[in-house]
Structure 1
């Protein structure tokens, strides 16, 4: 893979595993589907005040969308912008289906305990997310509606949700360019509606690099994103410009 000139770091998250970390404003994080069929359940929190977090309803209604893709932004519940989606080879990321829990995984795939399988155990999306949130003093009450990057779900005329296998191929990626200092938690377990008969979640590669100056212009085409970015700039101006 070609790294941008401003490459900072890279890490692979095996399918079914989890990760969390702080992304500073001015940093872009690339999420790549390594082998195809990945699902990356993601939550965002304000690193300085974790009561501020990603808000699915505000994100969707302000941009008149059901999915996320290039040009969309991820809004907080305080009117700020966590990040802008500045590049996307997938084209559709699920916003409404949440994460699998341990009971759903057991019903779909059977028992896959650590005692027998070690690192190949069958983890649920929720369990992985809670492990990461616990590292930052957060827990179950902090789990809100998440984004499922790489997964496509549509609704029929009757309202039935339909999962689309094969939405993401090996090498597909999405770039998240951060406007805030953001705590991001990620769980790479299967999407809750994935019809696969075996537990084989795909790996996710994380690559961080400095955001080029013109990159976030993609999100400025939507008026509510412009307002959110202005609110975010004021937030950091009140802090003396420090990040």
Structure 2
């Protein structure tokens, strides 16, 4: 043990001396201190850089916009969404694909629950390489590929990290459905096999709009089909700011019959709870 931290007073003084220190990957508190925010002054509510092989979580109000950015070109954001206070209503990757007749996530797409309601709208996308089919990595697979997959290892699995994020929000491992992956894509070939299409490249971003109050869980780990033998995962930038939900008349609301129904289901549900 270092001499300076051998006593309680020494440990306290050492800890206090770290005040104001910055690391490459950490939250900015308050979020409004983030340099060059993408919104009006004072509207930023979440600003964080998530290291490769790490995770984050937050509760966001309805209407909040969430932007994920891959600055280095090797981030992969594995995302889960839950209605805050109603964790049994959660992201359903199968319905997100099935209801919209599209296996590929793109701008204008809706992230759906199994209640036929919209959790979030994908309002902007400069990446074009995402995945709604494979889910995230597991302890067994990462142990086989990299030698370890536990959260404290150098190659943590996405499911293990999402489990930690879930526990911090009163959720259990059984509450973890298949996740969506942003910035690392796959394509379905004619024979039904999945081909990994790699990264969208440095600077790619996606922006989601919360259509209900949401608990957001994110793990930043390599895609499970990434063929590279080493564990490659670069930082992920997370920014969120106050905005407004999608409403009737918005082109996104009116884009498809399936979308209109999902938005209408959401509005009807919220109206019964006294929310507009």
Higher mean alpha-carbon deviation, 220-229 vs 61-70, is at 220-229
Aligned residue in 1 for 2:215: 183
Cα contact 2:246–2:253 (8 A) shared by 1: no
Structure 1 residues 222 and 47, CA, compared in 2 at 3 Å: closer, same or farther? same
Q: Tell me if 1:236 matches 2:270.
A: yes
Q: Tell me if 1:53 matches 2:87.
A: no
Cα contact 1:85–1:219 (8 A) shared by 2: no
Cα contact 1:33–1:150 (8 A) shared by 2: yes
> For residues 79-90 of structure 1, what are the structure 2 equivalents within 5 Å?
79-90=116-127
Which residue among 154, 166, 169 is the counterpart of 1:121?
154
Higher mean alpha-carbon deviation, 178-187 vs 227-236, is at 227-236
**What is the alpha-carbon distance in structure 1 between the residues aligned to residue 144 and residue 217 of structure 2?**
25
> For residues 76-225 of structure 1, what are the structure 2 equivalents within 5 Å?
76-111=113-148, 121-165=154-198, 167-211=199-243, 217-225=251-259
Cα contact 1:71–1:219 (8 A) shared by 2: no
**What is the alpha-carbon distance in structure 2 between the residues aligned to residue 223 and residue 108 of structure 1?**
43
For residue 16 of structure 1, report the CA deviation from its aligned partner: 0.8
TM-score by length of 2: 0.80
Structure 1 residues 189-220: Cα deviation after superposition (integer angstroms, max 9, x where no partner): 11110012211212111111123677963353
Q: Tell me if 1:70 matches 2:107.
A: yes
TM-score by length of 1: 0.90
Counting matched residue pairs gives 237
Structure 1 residues 185 and 214, CA, compared in 2 at 3 Å: closer, same or farther? closer
**What is the alpha-carbon distance in structure 2 between the residues aligned to residue 133 and residue 112 of structure 1?**
18
Alpha-carbon RMSD across the aligned residues, in angstroms, is 2.1
**What is the alpha-carbon distance in structure 1 between the residues aligned to residue 245 and residue 98 of structure 2?**
27
Structure 1 residues 59-99: Cα deviation after superposition (integer angstroms, max 9, x where no partner): 11221101111010001111110010000001131001011
Question: Which consecutive residues of structure 2, in runs of 5 or more, have no partner in the other structure?
Answer: 1-35
Structure of higher CA gyration radius: 2
Cα contact 2:139–2:150 (8 A) shared by 1: no
Structure 1 residues 44 and 90, CA, compared in 2 at 3 Å: closer, same or farther? same
Higher mean alpha-carbon deviation, 150-159 vs 216-225, is at 216-225
Which residue among 38, 52, 57 is the counterpart of 1:3?
38
Cα contact 1:55–1:77 (8 A) shared by 2: yes
Which residue among 13, 19, 22 is the counterpart of 2:59?
22
Point out which structure has higher relative CO (alpha carbons under 8 A, 6+ apart).
Answer: 1
